[in-house]
Structure 1
């Protein structure tokens, strides 16, 4: 009986810790995306509060605000205006990376972002 209670308690604590680790997307994340055969560097500075995602995106085209952002569990969605066109971003958040799909100009672009130490 005591073993069942202990195991249940351990699972609950691990679940809570996992949620805190996965949910911490605040800060700078960077990666590269293949766009028409060229590797394009991307950086995102995320601010997450109460399920709302804000921040900025930086590419060689400049810096743009993140708009209409939200996060539910491990799925994050937001939009970025790139040269007058909206790029829809859908991402799955992990403790050490973010897998992202970007819909831009009718193309589906995929990248993996890693937490960046530089600000």
Structure 2
């Protein structure tokens, strides 16, 4: 009897953890740093808003604030672009409970970076 209870409790905990990972919420403010191809670090923040499979919001850096364009989210994968001074910078990412892993394309040269949920 104790073994059945323990096994059921363990499986329930695993299910809850898996569901939390699947339904990680991207909404809100995220902050981090991008290392550019020329070696500079740029402090960035993203304010994401998901509505179904549509992702909107803003990206902010020392260059100013720009809207997120062409944002899409499917499960825990998402993509969008930002336009800075006439140049589009596509982003692809994956959302986790407390962080997002992103790849940005700087016109053929890419950078991988992590942003954390702002407190």
Please give the TM-score of this superposition, normalised by the length of structure 1: 0.83
SS in 2 for 1:106: coil
Per the alignment, residue 98 of structure 1 pairs with 100
Per the alignment, residue 16 of structure 1 pairs with 19
Please give the TM-score of this superposition, normalised by the length of structure 2: 0.83
SS in 2 for 1:105: coil
Per the alignment, residue 112 of structure 2 pairs with 110
Per the alignment, residue 84 of structure 2 pairs with 82
Aligned length: 115
Per the alignment, residue 33 of structure 2 pairs with 32
Give per-residue Cα distances to partners, 1:46-70, cap 9 Å, x unaligned. Answer: 0011121000001111111001111
Q: Is the 8 A contact 2:20 2:97 kept in 1?
A: no
**Runs of at least 5 residues in structure 1 that lack an aligned partner in the other structure:** none
Q: Give the CA deviation at 1:93.
A: 0.9
- Alpha-carbon separation, structure 1, partners of 2:45 and 2:20: 27
Shift of the 37–19 alpha-carbon distance from structure 1 to 2, 3 Å rule, reads same
Match of 2:68 among 66, 69, 88: 66
Q: Give the CA deviation at 1:19.
A: 2.7
**Runs of at least 5 residues in structure 2 that lack an aligned partner in the other structure:** none
